[in-house]
Chains A and B, each alone.
Chain A
C-alpha cells in the first residue's frame, strides 16, 4: 500500500506529463477562447455568439467525424467539401424547383451521398487507385456538379421551415417564468448525471480488474470540472434560446460513431487495419469491405454537412463547400488522429473542430482579414501536428 500511495501534487504532475497530448487540445481551445474573449471585450462568450459557434461548428464537425475514420485507415478524402456543396445544392433544387417534400429531399440527398461514397470507395478498394487521386478527381467532378446544379437558377433561397430549423432552430421549451430555457438546463443536469454515473461505473470496472485508476480526489476534481463545463455551456445557451438542433444532430452522430469505433467489431477492424492492414487481413478482416464502408460513411456525412450548410445559409450557393475538406482534415489531426494511421477518436476530432471554428469565429468577430485567418489556421494546424508527431515518437 505504501509504495502505491502518491502525493496529490506528484500525481497531478504525472497525469499532466503522461497525458500532455490529450490535454494540450483542451488547453489550446481554452486559451484561444480566452484570448478572443478578452480581445473582443467580452463578446466571444455572449450567448448569441456561442450559439453561432455551435451552428458553424456543426457542418465541419460532421465532416471531421467521417474524416477521422478515413484518416485512421491511412486514406484521405479531399472531395468532401464539394460533395457537401453539391448535395446541399441538390437538396435546395429538389425542394424549391421540383417541390419535393423537405424530408423526402433530405432522404434523397443522403442516398446520393451513399452512391458517391460507393463510387469513390470502390475505385479505391477494387481498382486500387490511391484515395488521394480518387478524391482529388472527386473535387473536380463534384465542383462541376455543384455548378451544374445551380447553373440555371444561381443562388437558390430555401424557405422550408423544417429544413431551416436544422441549423438555425432550437429544441422546444416548456413555458416558465424564469426567463431561461428550462429544457436546456434539464438536459444539462441529466447530461452531468449520466456522465458521472458512467464514469463511476467505468472506474469500478477497472478497479474490479485491478487496473490502475486515478486517486479519488483527482477523480472527484475531474468530475467536478467536466460537470462545470457542461453546466456552464448549457447555462449560456439557456439564457439565449436553448440548445440548437444542429448540436443535437452532431451529438447523435457523435454518439453513434463513438459507439461504433469503441464497441463494435467494425470499429476494432478500422483500428486494426490502420495499425497493420496485413495483420488485420490475416486475422480474417475483410479490409476492402471495411474501407468501402468508411468511404460510404464519409460521403453520407458530407451530404449531412451539405444539408446543414444550406440550412444555415437558408440558401444554396455555387461557392458552398469551398475549403471544408481543409477544415475537416485539420480538425481531425488537431484532435490527435495519428498522421501514420491506426489512432484517433471522433470525440477528439470534435474538439479539434471547436479549435478551428473558435479561431474562425473569433477572428470574424474581430474582423480579421480572411488572408490572415488562413495563415493563422495553417500555423495552428502545423504546430498541433508537429507536436503530435514529436510526442508520439517518444
Chain B
C-alpha cells in the first residue's frame, strides 16, 4: 500500500552552540498537498528546511527524515535534489547575466557527444517555462525579468529536475499583489500535476487561502498541524498558536519614573531603495522620550533596520523622498554616520560580524573606534588612556575575555555584542538604537544586556530597541511601535500590549 505521506520528519533536533534551534520537531507532509509552515522569526522554520534540503547535513542533527518511505541521509543539497527535493529561497539563486535557458539547466546541462546541446536546451527550457506560464524568450538574460518572473524561472528550474517536492521560502515577501496572486495560482497548478509544495510564509491571508495543511512552529517545537478541511484555520487561531507563551520573569524590572521631553523624533519618513525602486519606508513617524525604551517590532523585512540606518546618516544611500528627523530640538537629516554620532545618536548593528565590529582587531581597538578623538592628544592617540578606557568598559559591561588585547573574532556572540555596546557607550550617546541586541546570544548574556539597558535609561539616555522577539519587546519596552511592510501599523503602550495584538499588527491582518 502506498504511503499517504511523501515526507515525514521525525523527532528532529538541531542544536547550535548555546541554542536549541529545533527541539524534537515532527513534520508530516501528504503527497500532492500544499503545506504551509508558519511561525515567528527564529521559530525554526528555515532551520527545519535546511535540515530537509541537506544544508545541515546528516549527522549534524538527530532524528529521521523519511522521504518516499525511506530514511534519507542527505549530505548536501545535491543529495536532496537527486531525490527530487528543491528549495526556492527568498534571495534568488540565479545568474543575472546568463540567459533564462542556461539558468534553468545550469548544473544539469543537456549533453550530446560530450558537448552541451544548446538547441535541445532551448526547446526544453521553453517547455518548462510553459508549465509556469511564463511567455518570454528563453534566451533573454534573467536580469531583465522582474522579481516575480525570476521566481517563476526558479520554479521552472526545479521542474526541469523532475522535482516532486518544492519548498518555497517566503516566496511572496518581495512580490507585488499581482505577482503574488499569479504565484499562488502556479502553486495550485503544480499541485494538480501531483507536485507537493511546502511554503514558509508570514502572510497569513495567503496561507489560509492556499494551504491544505498548516503546521505552526514556535521556539523550535511543533505546536500543531491544522487541516484546512476539518480544523479552525482562521488567522486568529493561527496567531494564537504562533505566540501563546507566558512572559517569564527574565526581564529585569526598572524603577517606574516619569519620562522627560521628546529627545528624538522621526516624522513622515518615506524612503526608496534606489536599487529596486521599491519604497522601503512609507510615512514612518515615531518618537522617544528621555529615559524611555521604545520597542520597534516587526517581522523580518518590515523595514526596521532600513529605518534605523536611514536616520543614522544613511550610509547605504537610500533615497529619502520626504520626512524629517528631529534631535536636540533641531530638524536635521544626518548626511553620514559621523554627523549622527557627533549629535549623540548611536546605532548598535544587528549584524555584528557584517557591519558592527572589526573582527580581526582586539577589544581595545573596537571599543574606541567610534570616538578616537576622546583619547587623542594632539596628533597621536594616547594609548595609556585607551587602555584605561577599554578596561573600564570591559569591567563595567562584564566582557568576558582574558584581556582587552583579545581579538574580537575569538569572543562568543554575547561578548561580541557587549563590545559593540561598549563602543557605542563610549561615544556618550543621548539616543541609542539597538538593532536585535540579543540575537544569537545565550540567556545569561541576554539578561546582562537587559540590565544594562535599564541602567542606561535610568541615567537619562533613551533607547529604541528593534527586535523580532515578541516577549523581549513586551518585556523591555515602555511603549512600542509595530512595523509591517515599511509602515508603522500600530503604537501601543506597554500596559495594553499583548503578543496577539502585536503579532496581528506585524502581520498586518485585520
The answer to whether A and B come from one shared complex is: yes
A interface residues (Cβ-Cβ under 8 A, vs B): 205, 209, 211, 259, 263-265, 268, 271-272, 275-276, 278-286, 342-343
Assuming A265-B381, A268-B369, is B338 touching A279 (CB within 8 A)?
A: no
Chain B min CB distance to A203 (Å): 14
Q: Name B356's closest neighbour in chain A (CB-CB).
A: A279
A211 in contact with B336 (CB, 8 Å): no
Chain B residues within 8 Å of A278, by CB: 315, 354-355
Q: Are B361 and A282 in contact (CB under 8 A)?
A: no
| B74 CB–A CB distance under 8 Å | no
Residues of A within 8 A of B384 (CB): 205
Give the Cβ gap from B313 to chain A, nearest Cβ, in Å: 8
Within 8 A of A (CB), among B366-417: 368-370, 372-373, 376, 379-381, 383-384, 387, 391, 403, 405
B357 at the interface (CB under 8 A from A): yes
User: B215 within 8 Å of A by Cβ?
Assistant: no
Identify which of A265, A272, A276, A279 contacts B373 (C-beta below 8 A).
A265
Complex Cα gap A285–B338 (Å): 7
> Is there contact, CB below 8 Å, between A342 and B379?
no
What is the chain B residue whose CB lies nearest that of A278? B355
| Nearest chain A CB to B355 CB, angstrom units | 4
Give the residues in chain B near A283, CB-CB below 8 Å.
337, 341, 369-370, 423
Further pairs besides A211-B403, A275-B358: 11, Cβ < 8 Å:
A265-B372, A268-B365, A268-B381, A271-B365, A280-B358, A281-B355, A283-B337, A283-B370, A283-B423, A342-B358, A342-B360
Q: Does B168 contact A (CB under 8 A)?
A: no
Q: How far is the CB of A393 from chain B (nearest CB, A)?
A: 12
Q: Is B347's beta carbon under 8 Å from chain A?
A: yes
User: What CA separation (Å) do A283 and B429 show in the bound complex?
Assistant: 13
* Residues of B close to A268: CB separation below 8 A: 365, 368-369, 372, 381
CB neighbours of B360 from chain A (8 A): 275, 342-343
**Bound CA span A343–B381, Å:** 19
Measured CB to CB, the nearest residue on chain B to A283 is B370
Q: Which one of A205, A264, A280, A286 contacts B369 once the chains associate, using CB atoms below 8 Å?
A: A280
Q: Which 8 A-B pairs have the closest CB atoms?
A: A278-B355, A275-B358, A284-B338, A283-B370, A263-B380, A284-B341, A265-B372, A276-B358
B201 close to chain A: CB less than 8 A:
no
CA A282 to CA B308, docked complex, whole Å: 12
Residue in B closest to A209 when the chains form the complex, CB atoms = B387
Tell which of A264, A276, A280 has the most Cβ of chain B within 10 Å: A276
* B270 cross-chain contacts in A, Cβ below 8 A: none
Contact yes or no, B358 A264, CB < 8 A? no
Let me know if B184 is at the binding interface, CB within 8 A.
Answer: no
The answer to whether B349 has its CB under 8 Å from any CB of chain A is: yes
**Beta-carbon contact of B358 and A272 below 8 Å:** yes
CB pair A272–B361 under 8 Å, yes or no, is yes
27 contacts between A and B (CB under 8 A): A209-B387, A211-B403, A211-B405, A259-B380, A264-B381, A265-B376, A265-B381, A268-B369, A268-B381, A272-B358, A275-B358, A275-B359, A276-B355, A276-B358, A279-B356, A279-B357, A280-B358, A280-B369, A281-B315, A282-B315, A282-B347, A282-B355, A283-B337, A284-B341, A284-B342, A342-B360, A343-B360
B403 contact set on A, CB distance < 8 A: 211
CA distance A199 to B301 in the complex (A): 53
Residues of A contacting B370 with CB < 8 Å? 283-284
Partner of B337, one of A271, A272, A281: A281
> CB-CB < 8 A to B341: which residues of A?
283-284
- Of residues 211 through 242 on chain B, the ones whose CB sits less than 8 Å from some CB of chain A are none
Interface size class of B (residues with CB under 8 A): 35 or more
Instruction: Tell me the minimal C-beta distance from A272 to chain B in angstroms.
Output: 5
Q: Does B312 sit within 8 A of A, measured CB to CB?
A: yes
Q: Roughly how many angstroms separate A280 CA and B391 CA in the complex, as a whole number? A: 22
B358 touches A271 (CB 8 A): yes
| A272, B369: Cβ atoms closer than 8 Å | yes
CB distance from B349 to the nearest CB of A (A): 6
What is the bound-complex CA distance between A259 and B315, given in angstroms? 30
Contacts of B379 in A (CB 8 A): 263-264
Contacts of A211 in B (CB 8 A): 403, 405
The 8 Å CB contact of A264, one of B336, B338, B361, B380, is B380
Task: Tell me, in angstroms, the Cα distance from A276 to B408 when the chains sit together.
Answer: 13
CB of A286 within 8 A of CB of B336, answer yes
**Contact across chains for B336 and A284 when beta carbons are under 8 A apart:** yes
User: Do the beta carbons of B356 and A282 come within 8 Å of each other?
Assistant: yes
Least distance between B466 CB and chain A CB atoms (Å): 15
B 300-344 binary contact with A (CB < 8 Å = 1; else 0): 000000000000100100000000000000000000111011100
Q: Chain A contacts of B376 at CB under 8 A?
A: 264-265
Who on chain A is nearest to B405 by CB? Answer: A211
Residues of A within 8 A of B347 (CB): 282
A341 closest partner in B (C-beta): B360
A259 to B405, CA, bound (A): 20
Min Cβ gap B362→A in Å is 11
A275-B315 in contact (CB<8A)? no
Bound CA–CA A276/B369 (angstroms) = 12
- CB neighbours (8 Å) of B369 from chain A are 268, 272, 279-280, 283, 285
In the complex, what residues of B have CB within 8 A of residue A281's CB? 315, 337, 355
Chain B residues lying within 8 Å of A280, measured Cβ to Cβ, are 358, 369
Give the distance to chain A from B307, nearest Cβ to Cβ, in Å: 15
Cα distance, A88 to B300, chains bound together (Å): 58
Are B337 and A284 in touch, CB under 8 angstroms?
Answer: yes
How many angstroms between the C-alpha atoms of A275 and B356 in the bound complex?
11
**Cα(A264)–Cα(B379), bound, Å:** 6
Q: Which residues of B contact A209 (CB under 8 A)?
A: 387, 391
**Contacting residues, chain B, for A282 (C-beta < 8 A):** 312, 315, 337, 347, 349, 355-356
CA distance A272 to B354 in the complex (A): 13
User: In the complex, are the beta carbons of B405 and A275 less than 8 A apart?
Assistant: no
- Cα A279 to Cα B337 in complex, Å, equals 11
How far does the alpha carbon of A211 sit from the alpha carbon of B403 in the complex, in Å?
A: 8
**Chain A hits for B315, CB < 8 A:** 278, 281-282
Residues of A close to B391: CB separation below 8 A: 209
Q: CA–CA, A271 to B341, complex, Å?
A: 20
A353 to chain B, nearest CB (A): 24
Known: A268-B369, A268-B372, A283-B370. A275 touches B361 (CB 8 A): yes
State the Cβ distance, B469 to closest chain A Cβ, in Å.
23
Give the distance to chain A from B356, nearest Cβ to Cβ, in Å.
Answer: 6
A87 to chain B, nearest CB (A): 28
Contacts of A264 in B (CB 8 A): 376, 379-381
Taking CB atoms, residues of chain A closer than 8 Å to B349 are 279, 282
Given contacts A265-B372, A265-B376, A284-B338, contact A276 B359 (CB under 8 A): yes
CB of A159 to closest CB in B, whole Å? 40
